[in-house]
A and B are shown apart, each in its own frame.
Chain A
Amino acid sequence: MAARNSEHRYGWVAIALHWLMAPAIIGMFALGWWMRQLSYYDPWYRQGPELHKGIGILLLALLLLRLAWKAINPRPGDMPGQARWQVVTARFAHGALYLLLLAIMVSGYLISTADGRPINVFGWFEVPATLQGFDNQEDLAGEVHEVLAWSLMGLVALHALAALKHHFVDRDATLRRMLGLRGNPPSRPPRKEVGSPATGSPASNQ
């Protein structure tokens, strides 16, 4: 498989980034939610947040890498035969996912660095505080972080449902190409003929 995206397919770099980050992000939500209810004497009371912040910073680095990679790669075309509103909604949703992720990570960073303390990433390196000192920064950033984290989970659920709908209902190659799988969509023939099946690969309708 090629590293780079083509007009029709995701390359392995984009695929690897997507599937490395997706479970980590969902795990971060669970960890963030769970760690807040720990009692003071729980062994995870300190480790939970350390892990959350460390993974969070690494995810931020991956996200920046992912956006840079996206910028210098073609975008695989939309599935043929999709309604215009679906295509627009999907692109809007993908943009919102990136934005939410970025905002969540930045707000998390602003909680922890509100008093000038750096964030230590598993003892490997430290990310210094930069913006700090506006009034009750940690509370404000915390509220933003929490609200956006819930919003992200809502959007991710829709996103995953949409992917499954493409796969099982539309029977197109949307999910397969994000999984790096070649070949035809699931065996049952599509309900309606679209694109040019003779070529064997979905044509872009752009």
Chain B
Amino acid sequence: MKKVAIFLFAALMGATAQAAEYKIDTKGAHAFIQFRIKHLGYSWLYGRFDDFSGSFQYDESKPAESSINVEIDVASIDSNHAERDKHLRGEDFLHVEKYPTATFKSTSYEPMGNGKGKLSGELTLRGVTKPVVIDVEHVGGGKDPWGGYRQGFTGTTEFALKDFGIMYDLGPASQTVEMILDVEGIRI
């Protein structure tokens, strides 16, 4: 499981232009890095990373120039079961002692219209850096009631555990993990 995460963003087409940098609102916890993986092929198991930070650039008039960087404290994994979390943090899985942080740095964004797009980037997890593509959708954006300005996106991606050096065998139905990424950024 595990996996990590990341982010997303990007863009959207159209809409009004606000070229700007946004800080991901982890303080208010309006951002979630979640994963799910099949258990035995019989059900989905969900978990999340509680501690991460990052920011993104987004301009509604030039979505192709969107970018994002996210850094995750891998030890903050929480699958709602202490004994399992301990195992996930250990060498069989995330090996957090040796690889405490995971990062995602976007390299390009390809708008597909309708607020959707493909965000490419490099995911570093467990010491391995590999390209991943996140399917992104702009959820909404605009002024908030407290004087700020926000944009939010949701995204998903999927990768094989063993691509990032996680060799523990969870069974044939559990070779890949899905990441479910939601971020809301506050313009800075």
Residues of A within 8 A of B (CB): 39-41, 49, 111-115, 117, 136-139, 142
- A–B complex contacts, Cβ < 8 Å, 8 sampled: A40-B168, A40-B169, A111-B83, A112-B82, A114-B82, A115-B82, A136-B75, A138-B86
A111 to B75, CA, bound (A): 16
Q: Are B169 and A41 in contact (CB under 8 A)?
A: yes
CA distance A139 to B83 in the complex (A): 9
User: Beta-carbon contacts of B83-94 to A below 8 Å, as 1s and 0s?
Assistant: 101100100000
A49 and B83 within 8 A (CB):
yes
B81 CB-CB contact with A under 8 Å:
yes
Residues of A with C-beta under 8 A to B85 = 115, 138
Point out which of B86, B169, B170 has the most chain A C-beta atoms below 10 A from its C-beta.
Answer: B86
Give the distance in Å from the alpha carbon of A104 to the alpha carbon of B57 in the complex.
51
Contact B170 A111 (CB under 8 A): no
Q: Once the chains bind, are A40 and B171 in contact (CB under 8 Å)?
A: yes
Q: A117-B82, A138-B83 are in contact. List 6 more A-B contacts (CB 8 A).
A: A40-B168, A111-B82, A111-B83, A115-B82, A115-B85, A139-B89
Task: Decide if A137 touches B170 in the complex (CB within 8 Å).
Answer: no
A142 to B84 alpha-carbon distance, docked (Å): 12
Q: Which residues of A contact B170 (CB under 8 A)?
A: 40
For the complex, what is the distance from the CA of A39 to the CA of B167, rounded to whole Å? 11
CB of B80 within 8 Å of the partner chain: yes
Known pairs A115-B80, A115-B81, A136-B75; A39 contacts B169 (CB<8 A): yes
Whole-angstrom distance from the CB of A66 to the nearest CB of chain B?
28
Are A138 and B171 touching (Cβ within 8 A)? no
Q: Name B86's contact: one of A39, A111, A113 (CB within 8 Å).
A: A111
Produce 1/0 per residue, B49-83, CB < 8 A to A: 00000000000000000000000000100001111
Give, as a whole number of angstroms, the nearest-CB distance from A173 to chain B: 46
The 10 closest A-B pairs by CB, nearest first: A114-B82, A115-B82, A138-B82, A138-B86, A40-B170, A142-B86, A139-B86, A39-B169, A139-B89, A112-B83
Complex: A137 Cα to B48 Cα, angstroms: 18
Scan residues 87-105 of chain B and give those whose CB is less than 8 A from a CB of chain A. Answer: 89
Q: Judging by beta carbons under 8 Å apart, are B82 and A137 in contact?
A: yes
B57 → chain A closest CB, angstroms: 33
Give complex CA distance A96, B35 in Å.
Answer: 45
Q: How far is the CA of A138 from the CA of B170 in the complex (A)?
A: 22
Give complex CA distance A41, B174 in Å: 12
* Cα(A115)–Cα(B84), bound, Å: 11
**CA A147 to CA B4, docked complex, whole Å:** 30
Residue of A nearest to B76 (CB): A136
A171 to chain B, nearest CB (A): 49
Chain A contacts for B81, CB-based, 8 A: 115, 117
Instruction: Tell me, in angstroms, the Cα distance from A111 to B83 when the chains sit together.
Output: 7
Residues of B within 8 A of A117 (CB): 81-82
